[in-house]
């Protein structure tokens, strides 16, 4: 298959086998999980909104490769990949999608409303752009506490046209907050392409007027994302304030499960899948570098399939929440 030009391939020589295998596994888990979620939705087992992350896997896996314990993440409604990449349990995520007791929000939140204090995952936000100021708030808390944690605040190309993003840029830079603004530029906001909505060609460049540095990175190349993330993280941890990463990516599926997909051609999607797929890219690096054989990769594929099937079984068997649950988790419990 004709894929990306050789010149754009990163040197795999300084990336270890273990590292490549980890990225392969982590991205594949997201893809297979999302495919399964799509199937369960089709079977009527998942209701409400459901936004799949298929195609964008290298973004969050590359970013997470630069994270350490204590770092925080917050994102939009397209959030299943972020949860899996930071180590949340696929069973708990899938059971939440199916509205069951075993889900992260006891089945009361669904796709867009999951949280994990243990993994420092702060949602899951359905209001476009809402997570951006909240992300700066998380970073403010870390700065106040005097630690070196950073916050990854993910949002889309569409969200980056929102006013609250710029209010946040201003305050984050003014206060040197350790937040990385990750713009997942998948080129569409629902059915509106970047070309139709946005005159400027770079989104990261908008940080310039606030004094925030940033860069654009190939989001279909997990190694490029990781390298850029390490730079951004080092900037934030050193107390130099925020950083913007505009990660160029592509979603293969519709905006949500109810997208008529009339705003782009099938050929456009197929071309990205054939020529730029991030998982295929790492697969090739593993095979070409003699790091793994086809059989070894097949074994990884099976291992991931088993994890996803187990998650689906768990989420079908877990009971629906009891009616009394309607009255719980409304107000925060305090020690006072």
Q: Rule CB under 5 A: is residue 55 a binding residue for Mg ion?
A: no
For ligand TPP, the binding residue among 31, 72, 78, 82 (CB under 6 A) is: 78
249 binds Mg ion (CB under 5 A): no
- Given candidates 188, 204, 250, 314, which one binds ligand TPP under the rule CB under 6 A? 188
C-alpha 43 chain-centroid distance: 25
- Tell me which residues in 238-267 interact with ligand TPP (CB under 6 A): 255
Which of 78, 94, 30 has the alpha carbon at shortest distance from 190? 78
158 contacts ligand TPP (rule: CB under 6 A):
yes
Stretch that binds ligand TPP, among 11-19, 65-73, 151-159, 309-317 (CB under 6 A): 151-159
Beta carbon nearer to ligand TPP, 43 or 190:
190
Q: Which of 34, 64, 157, 218 binds Mg ion (CB under 5 A)?
A: 157
Q: Does residue number 55 form part of the binding site for ligand TPP (CB under 6 A)? A: no
Q: According to the binding rule CB under 5 A, does residue 90 interact with Mg ion?
A: no
From residue 119, alpha-carbon distances to 28, 89, 122, 250 in Å are 20, 10, 9, 26
Q: Which residues of 300-315 are buried (b: 16+ CB within 10 A; e: fewer)?
A: beeebeebbeebbebb
In 102-240, at which residue ranges do the beta strands (DSSP E only) sit? 151-156, 179-185, 188-189, 192-193, 214-218
Distances (CA, A) of 230 to 61, 150, 208, 233: 13, 12, 20, 5
3-state secondary structure of 72: strand
SS3 244: strand
Q: Which is nearer to Mg ion, 105 or 186 (CB)?
A: 186
From the list ligand TPP, Mg ion, none, pick the one residue 78 interacts with, judged by a Cβ distance below 5 to 8 Å according to partner type: ligand TPP
Binding site for ligand TPP (CB under 6 A): 76, 78, 126-128, 155-159, 186, 188-190, 255
Binding site for Mg ion (CB under 5 A): 156-158, 186, 189
């Amino acid at each position: 298959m004709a894929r990306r030009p050789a010149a754009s391939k990163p040197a795999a020589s300084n990336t270890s086998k273990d590292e490549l295998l980890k990225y392969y596994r982590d991205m594949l888990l997201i893809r297979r999980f999302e495919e399964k979620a799509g199937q369960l939705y089709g079977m009527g087992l998942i209701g409400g909104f459901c936004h799949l992350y298929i195609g964008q896997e290298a973004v969050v896996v590359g970013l997470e490769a630069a994270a350490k314990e204590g770092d925080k993440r917050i994102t939009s409604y397209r959030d299943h990949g972020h949860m899996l990449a930071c180590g949340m349990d696929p069973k708990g995520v899938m059971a939440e999608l199916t509205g069951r007791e075993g889900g992260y929000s006891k089945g009361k939140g669904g796709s867009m409303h999951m949280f994990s204090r243990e993994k420092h995952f702060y949602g899951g936000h359905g209001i476009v752009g809402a997570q951006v100021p909240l992300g700066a708030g998380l970073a403010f808390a870390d700065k106040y506490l005097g630690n070196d944690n950073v916050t990854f605040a993910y949002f889309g190309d569409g969200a980056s046209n929102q006013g609250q993003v710029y209010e946040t840029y201003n305050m984050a830079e003014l206060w040197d907050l350790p937040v990385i603004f990750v713009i997942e530029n998948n080129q569409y906001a629902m059915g509106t392409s970047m070309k139709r909505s946005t005159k400027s060609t770079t989104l990261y460049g908008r940080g310039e007027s606030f004094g925030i540095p940033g860069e654009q990175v190939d989001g279909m190349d997990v190694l490029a994302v990781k390298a850029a993330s390490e730079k951004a993280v080092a900037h934030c941890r050193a107390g130099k304030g925020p950083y913007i990463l505009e990660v160029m990516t592509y979603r293969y599926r519709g905006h949500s499960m109810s997208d008529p997909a009339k705003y782009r051609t099938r050929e456009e999607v197929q071309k990205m899948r054939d020529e730029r797929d991030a998982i295929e890219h790492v697969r090739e690096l593993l095979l070409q570098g003699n790091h793994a054989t086809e059989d070894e990769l097949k074994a990884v594929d099976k291992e991931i399939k088993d994890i996803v099937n187990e998650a689906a079984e768990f989420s079908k068997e877990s009971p629906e929440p009891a009616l009394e649950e309607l009255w719980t988790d409304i107000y925060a419990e305090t020690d006072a």
